[in-house]
Amino acid sequence: MDRDELLHWLRTEDRGALAELWARADSVRQAHVGPAVHLRGLIEISNRCTRRCAYCGINATNHHIARYDMPDTAILACVDRAIELGYGTVVLQAGESPLWSRDRVAALIASIKRRAELAVTLSLGEQDRETLRCWRDAGADRYLLRFETSDPELYARIHPREPGAPDRLEILGWIKDLGYEAGGGVMIGIPGQTWDTLANDLTTFERLDLDMIGIGPFIPHPDTPLGHDPTAWRAPVRDQVPSDEALVYRALALARLLCPHANIPSTTALATINHRAGRELGLQRGANVLMPNLTPTHYRAMYDIYPAKHGLTADTPYDSQHLRTRIHTIGRTIATGPGSRNHRSPPSPRRSH
Ligand code: 5AD
């Protein structure tokens, strides 16, 4: 798909055209990754962070939240819940903090891997190559690091860099070299993000041949520079990408068309802006993964990346059954096993006579 075509699809509001886009994304999803929805249990192990990202509510300058670190015993209890619920993957997510040292995280990964045949995904921010290697050696399977935007200038504005720190795209290269499955992604509607940038974001997914792609709306957080006064950062009005739900679906559907084999979640941020149907609509427009939150509720409120995060109280055992019902209601199945990226297409289903 060329750039003009991408831009056309991104900008279209024509109902007939959109119906065609949803149908194409859904059939490419069905053909390449099948009907099964993979459940990844998310554990937000700490909200400490030394970085000052202008969009993120847990950035170091936000003094309105209490900081926490989950003890290993509490993390392993969440892992046991994931096993009980039949999930094939746990995702450990946190800000960047020296308290989560290379050795501490490596030991944690090793103890999770000893417990069960679970895939371990890390989402622990920017790390040096040796640390990434050590965690891979300890058994980690996947690494998520959204690059947030493909526009270097916008990125530099919203993401103050540490002196000498490598770029996220460079780190994603290491992640792939080290044999992790690599996940990237962007937010939609960042003040200053233009249509051209968004089209580049999508072609970047394809160029990087990502195994996992996370796309969600930008949700302003009042205790962040970007949430405070988003208008100060905006692109000229004609070019500014809106942070709206419909556009997230269009980007998600296009990501599926460009990267047919990728694992693509219907993200929590999407469920936050449309609590009633966001998850399902994402799954029907290209996504094949959900990430139920297993973090104990008393920590969740402090993991305040953006306001009113969906699932502050959801995803308890009761809701887990509810989630299964919702997946079945839209005609999908629930995957078992780790659900790694499959580079080949699954065999087409046999016809029943
Ligand atoms: N709105 C939406 N998504 C956000 N993230 C961080 N802050 C926000 C926000 N205000 C996303 C980023 C990050 C991921 C963990 O959460 O894309 O990579």
How far, in Å, from the CA of 351 to the mean position of ligand 1?
43
In the chain, the N- to C-terminal Cα span, in Å, equals 37
Whether 329 and 109 have beta carbons less than 8 Å apart is answered as no
218 Cβ below 6 A of ligand 1: yes
Per cent of the chain over pLDDT 90 is 82
Residue 335, Cβ density class (10 Å: 0-12 exposed, 13-18 middle, ≥19 buried)? buried
pLDDT at 83: 95
269 Cβ below 6 A of ligand 1: yes
106 Cβ below 6 A of ligand 1: no
Strand bridging mode 289-290 / 181-188: unpaired
Nearest to 134 by CA among 167, 112, 104: 104
Closest approach atom of ligand 1 to CA 185: 17
How far, in Å, from the CA of 114 to the mean position of ligand 1?
31
How far, in Å, from the CA of 124 to the mean position of ligand 1?
13
Give the model's confidence band at 317: pLDDT under 50 very low, under 70 low, under 90 confident, else very high.
low
Determine the residue of 187, 224, 226, 295 to mutate for testing ligand 1's pocket, defined as the one with the most ligand atoms within 8 A of the Cβ atom: 187
Whole-angstrom Cα distance, residue 66 to residue 43? Answer: 18
Give the model's confidence band at 343: pLDDT under 50 very low, under 70 low, under 90 confident, else very high.
low
How far, in Å, from the CA of 16 to the mean position of ligand 1?
32
Whole-angstrom Cα distance, residue 28 to residue 139? Answer: 32
56 Cβ below 6 A of ligand 1: yes
Whole-angstrom Cα distance, residue 185 to residue 22? Answer: 20
Whole-angstrom Cα distance, residue 220 to residue 268? Answer: 15
Closest approach atom of ligand 1 to CA 305: 7
User: Which region among 3-12, 102-111, 318-327, 337-346 has the lowest average model confidence (pLDDT)?
Assistant: 337-346
CA atoms within 13 A on the CB side of 256: 30
219 Cβ below 6 A of ligand 1: yes
pLDDT at 321: 86
192-217 pLDDT, tens digit per residue, is 999 999 999 999 999 999 999 999 99
27-77 pLDDT, tens digit per residue, is 999 999 999 999 999 999 999 999 999 999 999 999 999 999 999 999 999
246-282 pLDDT, tens digit per residue, is 999 999 999 999 999 999 999 989 988 998 899 999 9
Whether 148 and 158 have beta carbons less than 8 Å apart is answered as yes
Is the pLDDT confidence value at 142 over 90? yes
How far, in Å, from the CA of 302 to the mean position of ligand 1?
15
pLDDT at 350: 44
Is the pLDDT confidence value at 353 over 60? no
216 Cβ below 6 A of ligand 1: yes
Token pair of 301 as six digits: 């409120």
Section 287-294 average pLDDT: 96
Whole-angstrom Cα distance, residue 123 to residue 192? Answer: 25
163-172 pLDDT, tens digit per residue, is 888 899 999 9
How far, in Å, from the CA of 220 to the mean position of ligand 1?
10
